[in-house]
Amino acid sequence: MHERIHHRAFTDRLMSAEQAAEFIKPGMTVAMSGFTGAGYPKSVPGALAAQMERQHAAGKDFKINVLTGASTAPELDGVLAKAEGMNLRLPYMSDPELRRRINDGNMEYMDIHLSHVAQHAWFGFYGKIDVAIVEVVGVTAEGDLIPSSSVGNNKTWLEMADKIIIEVNSQQSAAMEGMHDIYYGTALPPHRKPIDLTTVRDRIGQQYMDVDVNKIVAVVETDAPDRLSPFAPVDETSEKIADHLLTFLDSEIRAGRLSEKLLPLQSGVGNIANAVLAGLSRGGYKGLTAYTEVIQDGMLELIKDGTIEFASATSFSLSSEGIEEFNRNVDHYRKRILLRAQEISNHPEIIRRLGCIALNGMIEADIYGNVNSTNVLGSHVMNGIGGSGDFARNGYLSVFMSPSTAKGGKISGIVPMASHVDHTEHDTMILITEQGLADLRGHSPKQRAQIVIDNCAHPEYRPMLQDYFDRACKESYGKHTPHLLGEALSWHERFRQTGDMRPAN
């Protein structure tokens, strides 16, 4: 029993999830582990939600503020959302129940650059953190914590919280021990020093997380898998987008601007990201590196076949096959993967120094290259900005990718004016749809508009965009960024009214 817990102070505080959840009171701010559906607490949130529901049934209020690393899973965001148990949630999220409540206007959500979260917590911008709930793989004989399948903000939560609840999850592979790099050199200004990380493989911290045992109020044993992230099959559209990117990278190598090892890749998750990774493998690349947030199945494959030589991230996001493959060849992966805190995986200082190639999806871009990553029709949040801003602003290249249309052609991914701006014209370099690639580097707004219309717009929307742009160039108040303000958002408004961005006739 307790073979994952080798320290008395922890075994002494073993209890049920229900008992642990009792430490959480209405109005508290609770910081939890979890990033991209990995390493989140599996049982205390559910027990907490049950208590909330009992209180609500008794006519009492019971809501908390929830801080995490990024997205979690139904066992955390889902149950707390269903229990109407959150006042405020930050930062990234992807749970459908949670998203619905946010967009119904029933709870508050703060969308923050992932690199900002830990430091803003330290700055005191989110107030006091009452309780931290952190999943770990195990506890060493010295009382150190072996981090789980994500690091996220755990170091910060453990340091800042008044009380700590530890979940020890025996389903998490014990073989992960030693694959984490927890940096303890951060500080508040004016005491900050340079972070001495100059390659993706540099170890700058320690394997384990420190914890003050006096703050630990509960230890709960769990035995449940992470939210599995099934590998999305590559569809034709994604493959075309990936092909445009790979052709572009080849041309950058030929032009002498990139070496054959490229620069450290940051890659999102999902169909397009998988297609890009598969394409890199097919393209014969070898010895690449990744400095990114998430290691998904596709990246594991590339690490296995040598396309990627080393990957730094803050989280895994694997399917059940991916987890099996990881466990089968863990000795291979152990030498080629490091998981770091997200304040390091997403740190502007490091991303700019390494010169990352930032590859991110988007909801829409406008003709001038302003990108909307978060709010459908300017108001309905999808998942949040995540780390896309950290990488797009600071990387060597900022690439944003999307199909040129959605909902069977009823929505154009290229619009006259973005209905919400997460990445400004100052931060976007390359836009890609299945139609083609727009290289915006070195171009003024009007030049950008013509390139985006010609290369990225769907043929059905291209004449509409050209018409808008041509008339804007004639009639706009200023002709630096020509716009017809009475029309700029009319496509979105039309979709809202008719369900289609295209006019009726």
Q: How far apart are CA 441 and CA 252, in angstroms?
A: 13
* Pair of tokens at residue 117: 């979260």
The binder of a copy of itself chosen from 11, 19, 55, 103 (CB under 8 A)? 103
Give the CA count within 13 Å in the CB-facing half-sphere of 267.
Answer: 31
The binder of a copy of itself chosen from 426, 459, 504, 505 (CB under 8 A)? 426
Q: Does 376 bind a copy of itself (CB under 8 A)?
A: yes
* Pair of tokens at residue 393: 């602003």
Could you tell me which residues are beta bridge partners of residue 317?
Answer: 296
Residue number with CB closer to a copy of itself (60 or 192): 192
Closest separation in Å from C-beta 486 to a copy of itself = 5
Q: Does 63 bind a copy of itself (CB under 8 A)?
A: no
Residue number with CB closer to a copy of itself (209 or 376): 376
Closest separation in Å from C-beta 20 to a copy of itself = 27
Extract long-range pairs of 296-299: CB within 8 Å, 24+ residues apart: 296/229, 296/231, 296/269, 296/322, 297/229, 297/231, 297/321, 297/322, 297/325, 298/231, 298/273, 298/274, 299/267
Q: Does 192 bind a copy of itself (CB under 8 A)?
A: yes
Judge whether 70 and 36 are in contact, CB under 8 Å: yes
Q: Does 467 bind a copy of itself (CB under 8 A)?
A: no
Closest separation in Å from C-beta 110 to a copy of itself = 5
Q: How far apart are CA 150 and CA 470, in angstroms?
A: 49
Closest separation in Å from C-beta 245 to a copy of itself = 18
The binder of a copy of itself chosen from 75, 239, 422, 434 (CB under 8 A)? 422
Residue number with CB closer to a copy of itself (140 or 424): 424
Stretch that binds a copy of itself, among 16-24, 36-44, 295-303, 375-383 (CB under 8 A): 375-383
Stretch that binds a copy of itself, among 36-44, 138-146, 229-237, 489-497 (CB under 8 A): 489-497
- Give the residue among 404, 412, 390, 459 at the shortest CA–CA distance from 432: 404
Judge whether 175 and 330 are in contact, CB under 8 Å: yes
One symbol per residue from 241 to 280: x for binding a copy of itself (CB under 8 A), - otherwise; what is it?
Answer: --------------xxx-----xx----------------
Q: Does 174 bind a copy of itself (CB under 8 A)?
A: no
Rounded to the nearest 10°, the torsion over CA 188, 192, 198, 202 is -60
* Pair of tokens at residue 409: 């052609």
* Pair of tokens at residue 89: 């949630």
Q: Does 381 bind a copy of itself (CB under 8 A)?
A: yes
Closest separation in Å from C-beta 61 to a copy of itself = 18
Question: Which residues contact residue 228 at a Cβ distance below 8 angstroms, ignoring those fewer than 6 apart?
Answer: 318, 319, 320, 323
Q: How far apart are CA 358 and CA 415, in angstroms?
A: 22
Q: Does 348 bind a copy of itself (CB under 8 A)?
A: yes
Q: Does 292 bind a copy of itself (CB under 8 A)?
A: no
Stretch that binds a copy of itself, among 139-147, 151-159, 192-200, 322-330 (CB under 8 A): 192-200
The binder of a copy of itself chosen from 1, 58, 59, 104 (CB under 8 A)? 104
Tell me which residues are annotated as active site.
Answer: 293
Q: How far apart are CA 321 and CA 302, in angstroms?
A: 15
The binder of a copy of itself chosen from 194, 284, 408, 459 (CB under 8 A)? 194
Residue number with CB closer to a copy of itself (459 or 486): 486
Q: How far apart are CA 452 and CA 439, in angstroms?
A: 8
Q: Does 77 bind a copy of itself (CB under 8 A)?
A: no
- Cα angle: 118, vertex 119, 120; to 5 degrees: 95
Stretch that binds a copy of itself, among 275-283, 328-336, 352-360, 460-468 (CB under 8 A): 352-360
Alpha helices in 256-305 (DSSP H): 271-282, 297-305
DSSP-assigned states of every residue in 140-171: -TTS-EEE-SB-TTHHHHHHH-SEEEEEEETT
- Cα angle: 262, vertex 265, 271; to 5 degrees: 120
Residue number with CB closer to a copy of itself (28 or 263): 263
Q: Does 477 bind a copy of itself (CB under 8 A)?
A: yes
* Pair of tokens at residue 202: 């540099």
Question: Which residues contact residue 144 at a Cβ distance below 8 angstroms, ignoring those fewer than 6 apart?
Answer: 208, 209, 210, 211
Stretch that binds a copy of itself, among 111-119, 206-214, 318-326, 460-468 (CB under 8 A): 111-119
The binder of a copy of itself chosen from 61, 185, 188, 230 (CB under 8 A)? 188
Q: Does 369 bind a copy of itself (CB under 8 A)?
A: no
Q: How far apart are CA 142 and CA 295, in angstroms?
A: 29
Q: Does 327 bind a copy of itself (CB under 8 A)?
A: no
Could you tell me which residues are beta bridge partners of residue 185?
Answer: none
Closest separation in Å from C-beta 461 to a copy of itself = 18
Residues 198-237 contacting a copy of itself, CB under 8 A: 198-199
Closest separation in Å from C-beta 340 to a copy of itself = 16
Strand boundaries in 9-69, DSSP class E:
29-32, 64-67
The binder of a copy of itself chosen from 157, 183, 396, 469 (CB under 8 A)? 396
Q: How far apart are CA 165 and CA 17, in angstroms?
A: 10
Q: Does 126 bind a copy of itself (CB under 8 A)?
A: yes
Q: Number of residues in contact with a copy of itself, rule: CB under 8 A? A: 86
Q: Does 385 bind a copy of itself (CB under 8 A)?
A: yes
Q: Does 40 bind a copy of itself (CB under 8 A)?
A: no
Q: How many CB atoms lie within 10 A of CB 146?
A: 22
Judge whether 95 and 49 are in contact, CB under 8 Å: no
